[in-house]
Amino acid sequence: MAHTFEDLVQLEQAPVQAHARYTAPDIGDVDAVRRAWVDAAAAFQAAVTEHAQAEDRPRIQVEMAVKKTVRHPELAA
């Protein structure tokens, strides 16, 4: 099943949040936090590829639009 743009935004928010935990001073189990970050990023990348193929759009175009929405919501409007 192809993901919607909104699904991709949610999927990108997970690695962004996981990265914030990874760089926090009170990280705890470094390996588990890093693994969560990498897994979330991999899930996002796979979903972007699937969405781009389903929409017949360049993959990089999809990825950058999602990242812009997540990281700079004031510019995405």
Q: What is the pLDDT of residues 21-73, one digit of tens each?
A: 999 988 889 999 999 999 999 999 999 999 999 999 999 999 999 999 999 98
Over 90: is that where the pLDDT of 5 sits? yes
Q: What is the pLDDT of residue 1?
A: 60
Handedness of CA 16, 18, 19, 24 (dihedral sign): positive
Q: What is the pLDDT of residue 76?
A: 65
Q: What is the pLDDT of residue 40?
A: 96
- Count the Cβ atoms, other than its own, within 10 Å of residue 9: 18
* Nearest 10 degrees: Cα torsion 66, 72, 75, 77: 50
Q: How far apart are CA 55 and CA 42, in angstroms?
A: 20
Q: How far apart are CA 1 and CA 33, in angstroms?
A: 28
